[in-house]
Amino acid sequence: MKQKIIVIGAGFAGLPFVRKIDENLFDILLIDKINHHQFQPLFYQVATSQIEPSSISFPIRHIFKNKKNVQIRMAELESIDSSNKKIKTSIGEFDYDYLVIATGCKTNFFGNEEIQKHSFSLKTTYESITIRNHILNIFEKILSASESEKEALFNLAIVGAGPTGVELAGAFAEIKKNILPKDYPRIDFSRFKIYLVEGSKNTLNTMSDNAKIASKKYLEKMGVTLLTEVFVKNYDGQVLTFSNKQSIKTRTVIWAAGVTGNAIPGIPRDALVRGNRILVDRINKTQFSDTVFALGDIAYMETPKYPNGHPQVANVAINQGINLAKNLNKLQKGKAIKAFEYKDRGSMATIGRNKAVVDFPFIKFKGYLAWLIWMFLHLMLILSVRNKLIIFINWAIEYITKDTSLRLILTDDESKKKAGKL
């Protein structure tokens, strides 16, 4: 008789796990609160009107249409009862033989509810679209705003200078130069200021010195104002206040300053470590149950190479998902299992047209070649051939024309009123 596995989350960890599990040995119930897989590394391009949201969103049912052992339910996880091997969701309770938690993380606002209320995060396709709508509405607003209102409208602040923050800042700097002046010829875009705020000394602080220095030079040359060694104290929707008592009037703050795990009722408090991550062993098994596993960003695994846990990146999640699937297959067949060992293949970030930084274990470089490699590797990670082609065509057109035709405001008056953003 087949064992039943419930997988929570169809992200970079859950998806490869379900793909690699032996369908002759296991039945899978895959639960996610949305009906599609999201390609997070390109959210910033949706937010800046460079690609369509459908290009990086993949319906889960279509992905597994040929997997007869996979059932899919759209629901939210409410609690776990590991002693009775069951979970409670928004559509009911389900029993399991094994439970795999791959829920990822959410934006970390560090307990500041005021900042959370008034700023934007970039963790879903929907949030990417929300930012795009807001930015375009800002410039529509500027056309009729009074001089006293314009200062806050012209200032855009991005908090956090990791890859997401750097890529966002670079993309906004490029559309400021090449695209928006064509759409809004009556607006003086020399007044449009892009601020990148970072608490540490450098941009891309987890990458090499080469990447830190290059990204800083690129951004400054593109007109981005860097505020380093500064922390955000508060944001009330009008004024962004810093730890050094300085402030900026702005109607747009995008928060990219860190992540934290999604709290799940039923997980013992002592099974969690910093960042709300679940403590796991070398095969991603939790310490509170032999039948519950955690993968990807939500999992915290210490190894000799990574004594402080693995970086919360897609490659770790993908490889943990594959390794766990292979191990469960082996367990059912009575074979020896393999401890997870992450081989860091490097990291990269793009700052704009012909500008990127790449850190491989054997070489570190920047510029045009780094930018080409960044594009190629991201295209290879896109799930479908159709979407690869669509994104490549969009990138090619944008490279040749320095323009796109994707600047659509997809919202309604009621949603704008409720959001209180404009």
Give the distance between the most distant pair of CA atoms in the chain: 73
**pLDDT attached to residue 405:** 64
H/E segment holding residue 51 = none
Q: What are phi and psi of 96, to 5 degrees?
A: -145, 160
**pLDDT attached to residue 418:** 42
Residue range 322-347: average pLDDT?
94
pLDDT in tens, 2-26: 999 999 999 999 999 999 999 999 9
In angstroms, the CA 259 to CA 206 distance is: 15
Give CA separation, 324 vs 9, 48, 71, 340, 394, in Å: 15, 36, 19, 8, 36
**pLDDT attached to residue 412:** 65
Q: Which two structure tokens, joined as six digits, stand for 415?
A: 């949603």
SS3 160: coil
CB 253 within 8 A of CB 120: yes
Calculate the average pLDDT of the chain.
Answer: 92
Give CA separation, 202 vs 122, 195, 221, 287, in Å: 21, 14, 16, 37
Q: What percent of the chain has pLDDT over 90?
A: 81
- 23: nearest Cα among 61, 64, 73: 64
pLDDT in tens, 343-383: 988 899 999 999 999 999 999 999 999 999 999 999 988 88
- 161: nearest Cα among 234, 122, 212: 212
**pLDDT attached to residue 19:** 95
- Delimit the domains of the chain by residue range: 3-33+75-107+259-332, 113-257+353-419
pLDDT in tens, 259-292: 998 889 999 999 999 999 999 999 999 999 999 9
CB 374 within 8 A of CB 215: no
Q: Residue 419: is its pLDDT beyond 70?
A: no
CA 164 vs. chain centroid, Å, equals 8
Asked if domains 3-33+75-107+259-332 and 113-257+353-419 share a fold, the reply is yes
Q: Which two structure tokens, joined as six digits, stand for 291?
A: 């039948």
User: 413: pLDDT confidence band, cut at 50, 70 and 90?
Assistant: low
In angstroms, the CA 312 to CA 26 distance is: 28
SS3 119: coil
Q: Residue 416: is its pLDDT beyond 80?
A: no
Residue range 175-200: average pLDDT?
93
Q: Which two structure tokens, joined as six digits, stand for 15?
A: 């998806």
CB 5 within 8 A of CB 55: no
Please tell me the number of Cα atoms within 13 Å of 241 on its side-chain side.
10
Residue range 325-329: average pLDDT?
97
- 85: nearest Cα among 101, 96, 77: 96
Neighbours of 48 (CB within 10 A): 24
CB 326 within 8 A of CB 338: yes
H/E segment holding residue 354 = none
Strands 26-32 and 292-294: unpaired
**pLDDT attached to residue 204:** 96
User: 417: pLDDT confidence band, cut at 50, 70 and 90?
Assistant: very low
In angstroms, the CA 203 to CA 161 distance is: 5
**pLDDT attached to residue 1:** 82
- 140: nearest Cα among 413, 419, 401: 413
Q: What are phi and psi of 143, to 5 degrees?
A: -60, -30
Q: Which two structure tokens, joined as six digits, stand for 258?
A: 């860190």
**pLDDT attached to residue 422:** 53
Residue range 45-55: average pLDDT?
90
**pLDDT attached to residue 409:** 80
For the domain spanning 113-257+353-419, the CATH number is 3.50.50.100
In angstroms, the CA 55 to CA 82 distance is: 38
Residue range 401-420: average pLDDT?
63
pLDDT in tens, 101-147: 999 999 999 889 999 999 999 999 999 999 999 999 999 999 999 99
Q: What are phi and psi of 89, to 5 degrees?
A: -125, 180
The residues, any chain, with a CB within 8 Å of residue 305's CB and separated by 6 or more, are 341, 342
Give CA separation, 79 vs 266, 268, 291, 308, in Å: 6, 12, 16, 28
CB 8 within 8 A of CB 102: yes
**pLDDT attached to residue 93:** 97
- 216: nearest Cα among 355, 338, 84: 355
User: 415: pLDDT confidence band, cut at 50, 70 and 90?
Assistant: low
For 3-33+75-107+259-332, give the CATH class.
alpha beta
Neighbours of 44 (CB within 10 A): 27
- Which residues are 254's β-sheet partners? 120, 158
The reply to whether the predicted model has a pTM over 0.85 is yes
Q: Residue 201: is its pLDDT beyond 70?
A: yes
State the first-to-last Cα distance of the chain, in angstroms, to the nearest integer. 58
CB 99 within 8 A of CB 292: yes
